[in-house]
Amino acid sequence: MRLILLHGFLMNGAAIRRQWGRIARELEQEVQVLAPDAPLTPPAEVVQRSYASWGVKPIAGPHRAWWRATEDESSYEGWERSHEQLMALVNQGPYAIAGFSQGAAAAALVCAWARLGQMRTPEFAVFVGGFVPRAVAFSKLFEEPLGISSIHVSGAADII
């Protein structure tokens, strides 16, 4: 069994692994924990502008993304590369998936395609600080329940 951890926007696999810290170390006694880097590298000005708007100190790079949303968030540029990477990863055998923020939305897309039979179905999913993908191309994917056991974590201060 594998647990695939998907990091948030402008994070990377090492950062999500650090966030999960002790939990990941404990889980590794029973399952393989994978934390891949997303394939896209946003421009430096996007990194600077985003962290400034969030009011937090930037994490150490590399800064990666599963997609770049257009200004109106109606489409996700670069998602095709992420889709290919994730499809190859999840179709290797039994797995569970967990994601934070943009990574949680990417995990939701994996679950939606699994429900349609286009990807292997995860054993369960964990969504932390996630959101439903807003790109127009994905709107029909979430009209029906995903039908996968899941845990959703959000906080009162979560602005997304």
Q: For residue 67, how many other CB atoms are within 10 A of its CB?
A: 25
Question: Under the phi-then-psi rule, with left for phi > 0, alpha for psi from -120 to 50, and beta for the rest, what region is 58?
Answer: beta
The pLDDT tens digits of the residues spanning 21-47 come to 888 888 888 999 999 999 999 999 999
The pLDDT tens digits of the residues spanning 54-81 come to 888 888 889 999 999 998 989 999 999 9
Q: Is 126 exposed, middle or buried (0-12, 13-18, 19+ CB in 10 A)?
A: buried
**Residue 54: closest CA among 129, 123, 108:** 129
Q: With 80 as the cut, is the pLDDT of residue 99 above it?
A: yes
The pLDDT tens digits of the residues spanning 76-96 come to 999 999 999 999 999 998 999
Residue 51 Cα distances to 60, 67, 143, angstroms: 12, 17, 33
In the structure encoding, which two tokens stand for residue 112, read together?
């939606």
Residues 6+ apart with CB under 8 A from 62: 12, 37, 41
pTM higher than 0.85, yes or no?
Answer: yes
Residues 6+ apart with CB under 8 A from 156: none
Per-residue 3-state assignment (H helix, E strand, C coil) for 90-135 = HCCCCEEEEEECHHHHHHHHHHHHHHCCCCCCCCCEEEECCCCCCC
In the structure encoding, which two tokens stand for residue 65, read together?
């993304």
